[in-house]
Amino acid sequence: AQSVTQPDIHITVSEGASLELRCNYSYGATPYLFWYVQSPGQGLQLLLKYFSGDTLVQGIKGFEAEFKRSQSSFNLRKPSVHWSDAAEYFCAVGVPTTGTASKLTFGTGTRLQVTL
């Protein structure tokens, strides 16, 4: 069965600083990979996704992520964090299934705090 590990429970960065959130997955083949963001009291919003092709993917709000097969990682990055980026970030793995939508498994999340 697939699994996702987000080793950092809580990260604090200063506004304007760069950010990297780590995500490692376990799956026998190349899965579909996602990053979602959740603000307090809200549902999950997709930041970016990787299905195949270019291993560096661009998302909304200036985020990007890089798929590294050798490290089974899909880390999320942003060059300059804004105070509005404070939220919970979830990495998810989608396991392709024949003829149906993929099965999504989420990590436990990383809470980002931004100091002014």
Partner 1 sequence: EAGVVQSPRYKIIEKKQPVAFWCNPISGHNTLYWYRQNLGQGPELLIRYENEEAVDDSQLPKDRFSAERLKGVDSTLKIQPAELGDSAVYLCASSTDRGNTEAFFGQGTRLTVV
How many Cα atoms are found within 13 Å in the side-chain-facing hemisphere of 87? Answer: 20
Site residue total, partner 1 (CB under 8 A): 29
* Interaction between residue 63 and partner 1 (CB under 8 A): no
CB of 85 or CB of 107, closer to partner 1: 107
Please name the residue that has the structure tokens 């999950």. Answer: 44
Stretch that binds partner 1, among 11-19, 30-38, 55-63, 75-83 (CB under 8 A): 30-38
If one asks whether residue 70 binds partner 1 (CB under 8 A), the answer comes out as no
Q: How far is the CB of 37 from partner 1 (least distance, A)?
A: 11
Interface residue with partner 1, options 62, 73, 77, 106 (CB under 8 A): 106
11 binds partner 1 (CB under 8 A): no
Strand partners, 87: 112
